[in-house]
Structure 1
Amino acid sequence: MAKIFITGSADGLGQLAAKALLQQGHQVVLHARNAERGRKALKANPEAETVLIGDLSNMQDTIQLASQVNASGPFDVVIHNAGVYQGSAKDIFAVNTLAPYILTCLVQKPKRLIYLSSGMHLQGRANLDKFHPDNSSISYSDSKLHVLMLCKAVAQKWPDVYANALDPGWVPTKMGGRGAPDNLEKGFATQVWLSTSNDPQAKVSGRYFFHQKERPYNLAADDVHLQERFLDLCQEITGVSFPA
């Protein structure tokens, strides 16, 4: 049995992944951005251990959330599921790019880290010259490339951790919309599989998956110079350094 923390698990794919993991008998701690959504999260998954509250669009809230996670841990798995699609550039940058960085740095190192990217990262650019917490013009596609860059950097720096990223597909959640064409169940199956499977194909690191299969990705994510500059800029903005 694994102990698992999932960001953004009040609804959508995070909620569904939590339900699947609870049905398998794992311990799951939920996350929501405010108390009202936290109550809804626990109502949807009453078997969860607890729900932690923190607004990932707020840097200080995210730092405080990391302390809550550590107080509730240690965790075997952390799933960085939370994301913003139709929001301001400032919120996209804060939630999609900076929050996973802060939590990765401050949360006690788990055995497995799973990052939700997107097929849209293929159109993204690192755009490191546009990093600014109050005036960012980072797009959603850019932010999902950042997620993959972070995953790749973690895989390189922490060889004792399985760190992987995935594209859940365009699925019919509140974010994806009712007309989304991809399979909803397959949208959360990969993160569940990467969290707990002893399949040799899941016990890897630095890989990018779609529906439990490795897929081609934006090769800019492999640029170690870009990764290091990305980490340096995140540290400058957040005041949080990547652990040695």
Structure 2
Amino acid sequence: MRKPPDAASAAPPRRARGRPVGGGNSADQARTVLMDAAERSILARGFQASTMELIAREAGYSRAAMYRHFPNRQRLLEELVARKTRGHQQEIGARLPEGAGLADMLVESLVIVAAELVEDPLLQTLSEHTEDGTIAQLIANDRSLTELISAFVSSLDVDRDGLRDGLRPDDLAQFLVTTAITLLMGVVPNSTDPQTTRRYLRTFVLPALLSDPPAPVRVFTTSRRASR
């Protein structure tokens, strides 16, 4: 009588289930996948309901892997804001007219910030968790914006680009950041209207930066009813 095979030899080899840890992605790819999943979840559920575990599961990663890349929810929020800000900056650069001078570059970049960045759905959702509930505070706390503007300023040449003599690059960068935040806060009346913002920037901002600024124009149009 033939002996039955023992259990070890009879059982078929167990096949590894699922994909390898990390999905075979590099660290940078993993961060991108996790942040993409976080953005989708936040837009669908809101920031509070989008737990780290839920985001990790939807991205196909473990909770531990999520925390390796983002130690806490605040870091995740900061990284999402930085990525969104960089994305808008790249879009701005791509949309500027070819061969645009410094004045047009500054004006059109800030117009896009005032009219479009404030309408970004992800930034609107995340801004609900700032102290004052504004996108301006999100951007003000985002170091990447300052870094991007500082890099832009460092590439400028005073003689070539017509900047005022004596302007320090770090002062100029901070001024541009402050101007962008002021527009996002809605301090400038009707700043979501591109034409109003263009007039405001050409009349009040460019004279602070350029040695030969454009002539001032009427910035704010008001309609008055005659009182009888």
Q: Name the TM-score, length of structure 1 as normaliser.
A: 0.24
Larger radius of gyration: 2
Greater fraction strand = 1
Greater fraction helix = 2
